[in-house]
Copies of this chain bind each other. A is one copy, B any other.
Amino acid sequence: MRFFFRTFLLLIAGNLALQAQVKRPFALVIHGGAGAITKENTAPEKERGARAGLEKALQAGYAVLEKGGTSLDAVEAAVRVLEDDPNFNAGVGAVLTAEGTAELDSAIMDGRTLGAGSVAGLRHIKNPVSLARRVMEKSPHVMLIGEGAEAFAKTQGLTFVENATFITPARLEAWKRAKGKAQPGNPKGTVGAVALDQAGNLAAATSTGGMMMKKWGRVGDAPIIGIGTYADNATCAVSCTGWGEFFIRTVVAHDIAAQMAYAGTPLTKAAIQTLDKVKALGGDGGLIALDAKGTITMPFNTSGMFRAFKKSDGTQGVSLFRND
């Protein structure tokens, strides 16, 4: 009996030592938008810019995780890099509204607490994702819109810039070409990140300039908690990109989480099934998702999606097109 007891203790001690050595897995996945993106229709300098931008954002977010930082800090860091990069439809480089201005939306969610922050219709906040985080952490609210959201930003000392700061020559050219055409432009762009940190916590963030030539204060799925952005340690973290209207009607991010929670569907299958619902309604797009075990999925039903991932097991990748 005493022998068994001693063996039992040794087994427990060994197990604890092993756990201390083998760090929990951590991972970062980012996207820079899904759309009609092919090798053929992407200029070489645009391709280089997108790859370099994804790489830089990936490193910024992964560095946080590697140092033992939180998944929240990681997704915010990655998304800030993408917002500042003119190659993506968020922050600098946002597509323009019918009026020729940039109107920015963003959201962030903490899978540990289900805390969430969301902002829409911003015109002067340099990094919308950081304002979304302040809404989550420093206000009693989840969603703030328009001038009200910017008034809150003032109380938080966020960096304000002129709206023109967001407008790149390429977006202005595209706006001039599209002007006068009846339909709003094909939605493309949006950036986002999902992360799992060493403490096992998930987080998600999304940021976008929305749909080109949008008008009437249109808001898409990106800043909507449970739709374009969602994180719950019990299931997954999700950030979407695509035709927002169809993503809203499908409640995409929460629909993936709910399949995992209620039907026991694995992440990858759940994500594909939800994206198929978007397609059945007539929409398209893609998403990145990550579960608490470090499973990654990056499905899209457009011709391409800017995407990248890096995991603590050493695997990583940056891809733009379908077979890439």
A residues engaging B (CB < 8 A)?
114-116, 118, 120-121, 139-149, 151-152, 183-184, 214-220, 224-227, 230, 244-245, 248-251, 254-255, 258-259, 261-263, 265, 281
Contact (A145, B121) CB under 8 Å given A225-B249, A258-B258? yes
* A-B pairs with beta carbons under 8 Å apart, 13 shown: A116-B249, A141-B216, A141-B218, A142-B244, A142-B245, A143-B224, A143-B248, A148-B216, A148-B218, A152-B216, A224-B224, A251-B254, A254-B258
CB-defined contacts of A218 to chain B, threshold 8 Å: 141, 143-144, 148
B219 touches A144 (CB 8 A): yes
Contact (A230, B251) CB under 8 Å given A146-B145, A281-B114? yes
Q: A114-B249, A142-B248, A226-B251 are in contact. List 19 more A-B contacts (CB 8 A).
A: A114-B281, A116-B248, A121-B145, A121-B146, A139-B216, A140-B184, A140-B245, A141-B245, A142-B249, A143-B224, A143-B248, A144-B217, A144-B219, A148-B216, A152-B215, A225-B251, A254-B254, A254-B258, A263-B263
Of all chain B residues, which has the CB nearest A120? B145
